[in-house]
Structures are given as structure tokens and as C-alpha cells.
Amino acid sequence: MKRSSTTKKALLISTCALLFSMLMMAGSTFAWFTDSVSSGTNTITTGKLDVQLLHTNQKVTEAKEVQQNTLLFTDEKGNSIDWEPGAVAYENFTVKNTGDLALNYRLALDLNNANTIAGTKRSLKDVLKVKVLDHAVGATDLSEEALKTGFQQVTSDQLSIPVAAYNNDSNKSVQKLTVGSTSTTYGVIIYWQPNAETDYNYNLANYSDTEKDGKTIDKTSDGNDHLTIDLGISLGATQASEESDSTGNDYDREATYPAASASEFTSALKKAKSGDTIELTGSISLNEPITVNENVTIKSVGGAVLSGKALEIGSNNNVTLQGITFKSPRTAENKGISLKATGYNGKLIIDKCTFEEPQWSSIDISAKASASITIKNCTFNVPEASVSAGHKYVEFECGSAAAKAQNSAADSKLAEGAHSVLCITGESGTSLVMTGNTFNGLANCDASKAVEITGISGAEQEFEKNTVDQKKTISIQNNSSRKGFAVK
């Protein structure tokens, strides 16, 4: 998908970003501009920053632009790969500058959200190997001999494609394209190299799905019947420095790319100063919780998705979250929460965010009297229990809305479905505003209170234009009628 942006009397200093995911693609090209900028007697007028990502694979033999719903790394029929020893998939990627400004780009392979075999840390990241070529994949590259060498295991969440293509030369991470030019074609091969000594460890057929007493147990960390992983491509571009003004060609040397991995996000937070804006793009899997300890705005600029461990807000920080999708929170204890704050004293604004597939909850906040919390124009989606990862069963907290979960749950068996969606505990003086939010699937939560708000005085509550699919699992102290929530 391509989007152009042109502005007069503006200086382009920021970035554009694309995200394409194997399971759910989402992304567009974005350009951000400052206000009018003058240097000396000159006024700079920008052109267009436009970039396309083209691909071919086993199914697609003529180059096509990657669109929002393009499926990548497919088999010869265009279907998702069933990963097993010997399975191989490839893509050929080409970046094309279709604008009228020279640009620098980064291209990376993302490997996120791999589930594990229950009770272990084994996942597809252990066995899938990657080889990146500086040319399109051909028959020779897929020969038995070629598949024996040149592959590497990706231990992090992201691999720079140009760096890998050029003998892991870190200086190649940023590539330049002049106006109208096209990049080298990069061939990316993903391969499960057979290993007779270890492959049996990743065969779910070798693991029991029942306990000694006959109760059913899950074979994977998320209750799936097979091992899964999200494979995607991140493309980021900035205007090249050769687009100069009267002060030289380094006016945009401070331009930054959106963070597209957990490590880049963490680095951006460490460098951030009060009042800064941190931009996120792509599918970012958090293997550890990340804490925001600065007064910042964190916004999505290319379909950013945070999954895995929690994003935690520092107790005294003023933070705004904009347009981010929080998805599939997970912990080893199966009590995953997407967004957390404890003893919160600051001002938190959650705007136009989406929360999907909660485990224990999507949002869990305990706030002090001086805290201010605003949740507006957000969407909360809870899937049916049958397709949920499930959550840890806790006696007296689970099973109220799903007797089946209570009766079948044990230490080794997850309670069905999500536990809850939102829990906010405040004090007299805590301010809470919730407007324009949509809640879907509240009936799929195991807890009797899918939305629970306590401790906040009625005078400090403001609820308006929120839509829900049911009210009976919404509990708001000092708002027993649930005013401001309408059943759609």
C-alpha cells in the first residue's frame, strides 16, 4: 500500500514506515513534516517521499507490490507454510523509490510472538534458520547442497536484511535510493534444517495431552494445537541528506526511524526527554516488561502492535498512548496484562488504542488520589473462549461467568477464555474519564466483573458514549446504573 504526502513551506525531517505481517498485514507509507522552516532568505519546499515494497515468491512469479493483506512466505500454492523439518519458504524483496526525493531506507525481517511447547522454552525460533542473499532466490539456492550452508539462527526479534545480505556488515543497515531508482533484490530464505538429534523435541505428537488422572492439558503455551510464529517485514525510510538547503545537507541528521523492535523501543525510552514523542511501528514482541519512566507521548505510525509482556507506566510520569494495538499479553504464570500502572500518581491518556485477546486483563491500574486517567476512542476485543489462550485459574476469582472453566481448571490446565478486560482501582480524588470506547465480547470473560472500577468518587468519574455488548459484567462503584455505557 502506498500513500503520498506533499506539503509547501515545510521541511521533511521524519520518517515513513511500512509493516507487513505473515498472519495479519497492516501498514501504509507515512510522511511527517515540520511547520514552515526558513534558512537565511530561503524557504524550503519539500517534494514527495514515496516508497514501494515489491515481492515475488513460490506462488508470485511476477513482481507485485505488497498490499495490506498480502500473505508472505507461502508455499507454491500461496498458502501459509506448515512448519516441519525440511520445510522451506522464501521471498524476494525489492524497494522502489517512487517519489521525487532521494531517501535512505532500512529493511528488516521480524520474528515475533512464537508460542512454546507447554512447560518448556522450545519454539520455532529454535529451529527456523534464515539466509539472506543479495539477489533473487533461484533454483540453485534451493538445492540440497545450498540448503546445507549459510543459514543463521535469529535469536533477537529482528534481522537487518541488508546487513545479512552483505556478510553481516553493520555499515550496510541503511541503504540509499536516488529518485526513481530501485534497490538490490534481496532473497530471504527461511528453512527448518532437519536435525535427527533434536527435531523430535519439537514434535507435539511426542507430548501427552492428558494428565495421569485423565484431565486434558494444553500442549502449547497459548493452547494452540501447533507451534506458531509471526513472520513479517519492516520497511522504514527517511529523506536522504543530499536533499539540502542553504545550511548544507545535514539539516536532518537528527531524523530518527520509528522503533520497530523491543530493543529499539527500550533504547528510545532511555534517550527520551520530558515532552518527547516516541514513534512505534511494526509488530513488537516484549519478552520482558518495559517501563515508561519519562513524561512522553508514545504513538503508532505504521500499525504498531505490542504483544507479550506488559507495558508498565512509571508511577509519577505523565504519559500519552496513541493509536497502538495491544495484543495477546502473556506471562509464564498465564496472567498476562497489556498495560499496567501501580500506585499511579501521574496523568495518563490512552487515545485511539486497540486491546485484543487479553489473558488476565488488558488494563490493570491502581491509582493514587492525585492521578488523572483518560481512556478515549479505544476498542477492546475479547475472543470466544474456544479460540482464547486461556488464563491461570485462581479460586474465588475465576469461574463465576463460566462454570466449565472452574470445573476443569487446575494448576496444569488453564481456565478457558480471558479473565477480564479492565480493572482500575483509585482513591477519593482520582480522576477517571472514559469516552467513546467500544467493548466487544465481555460475555467471553471468565470473571463476573469483566470491567471493574472501584474507589473513585462519583464526582471524579466521567463516562460518555461508551458502547458495550452487555452491561451485566460491568461493575463501577458509585455508578451502579452504568451511566455512559450503552448496549449496542
Q: What is the pLDDT of residues 430-472, one digit of tens each?
A: 999 999 999 999 988 888 899 999 999 999 999 999 999 999 9
* DSSP string of 220-249, one letter each residue: BTTS-SS---EEEEEEEEEE-TTS-BTTBS
| pLDDT confidence bin for 424, thresholds 50/70/90 | very high
Question: Residue 5: its pLDDT value, please?
Answer: 33
Give dist(CA 66, CA 21) in Å, integer.
Answer: 11
Question: Residue 242: its pLDDT value, please?
Answer: 59
Task: Provide the sign of the torsion angle of the four alpha carbons 446, 447, 449, 450, taken in this order.
Answer: negative
Average pLDDT over residues 203-212: 88
Q: HEC states along 418-477?
A: ECCCEEEECCCCCEEEEECCEEECHHHECCCCCEEEECCCHHHEEEECEEECCCCCEEEC
Give dist(CA 334, CA 393) in Å, integer.
Answer: 9
Average pLDDT over residues 394-418: 53
Average pLDDT over residues 165-175: 88
Question: Residue 218: its pLDDT value, please?
Answer: 83
Question: Residue 314: its pLDDT value, please?
Answer: 97
Give the rounded distance of the alpha carbon of 391 from its chain centre: 21
CA distances to 34, 94, 146, 367 from 139, rounded to whole Å, are 48, 19, 10, 60
Q: Which residues of 416-451 are buried (b: 16+ CB within 10 A; e: fewer)?
A: bbbbbbbbbbbbebbbbbbeebbbbbbbbbbbbbbb
CA distances to 108, 228, 242, 440 from 253, rounded to whole Å, are 22, 40, 11, 45
The type of residue at 372 is S
Question: Residue 392: its pLDDT value, please?
Answer: 64
- Statement: residue 189 has pLDDT above 70: yes
- Statement: residue 1 has pLDDT above 50: no
Question: Residue 391: its pLDDT value, please?
Answer: 65
Question: Residue 386: its pLDDT value, please?
Answer: 57
Task: Provide the sign of the torsion angle of the four alpha carbons 255, 257, 259, 261, taken in this order.
Answer: negative
DSSP annotation of 377: S
CA distances to 168, 230, 279, 391 from 115, rounded to whole Å, are 28, 10, 27, 15
Residue whose C-alpha cell is 505473515:
22
Q: 361 phi and psi, to 5 degrees?
A: -170, 165
* DSSP string of 45-108, one letter each residue: ------EEEEEE-SS--S-EE--TT---SB-TTSPBP---TT-EEEEEEEEEE-SSS-EEEEEE
- Statement: residue 370 has pLDDT above 90: yes
**Cβ atoms of residues 81 and 168 within 8 Å:** no
- The more confident residue out of 430 and 66 is 430
| pLDDT confidence bin for 42, thresholds 50/70/90 | very low
| pLDDT confidence bin for 209, thresholds 50/70/90 | confident
Question: Residue 286: its pLDDT value, please?
Answer: 92
- Statement: residue 251 has pLDDT above 60: no
> Which of 63-72, 290-299, 427-436, 473-482 shows the lowest per-residue confidence on average (mean pLDDT)?
63-72
Cβ neighbours, 10 Å, residue 272: 18
Domains of the chain, residue spans: 51-233, 258-487
Question: Residue 402: its pLDDT value, please?
Answer: 46
Average pLDDT over residues 181-185: 97
Q: What is the pLDDT of residues 111-138, one digit of tens each?
A: 877 888 988 889 999 999 999 999 999 9
Give dist(CA 410, CA 6) in Å, integer.
Answer: 59
Question: Residue 115: its pLDDT value, please?
Answer: 84
| pLDDT confidence bin for 425, thresholds 50/70/90 | very high
The type of residue at 287 is N
Residue whose C-alpha cell is 494448576:
411
Q: What is the pLDDT of residues 267-276, one digit of tens each?
A: 999 999 999 9
Q: What is the pLDDT of residues 393-404, one digit of tens each?
A: 665 554 544 444
Question: Residue 193: its pLDDT value, please?
Answer: 96
- Statement: residue 317 has pLDDT above 90: yes
Question: Residue 3: its pLDDT value, please?
Answer: 35
Average pLDDT over residues 328-349: 93
Nearest to 295 by CA among 267, 325, 316: 316
| pLDDT confidence bin for 388, thresholds 50/70/90 | low
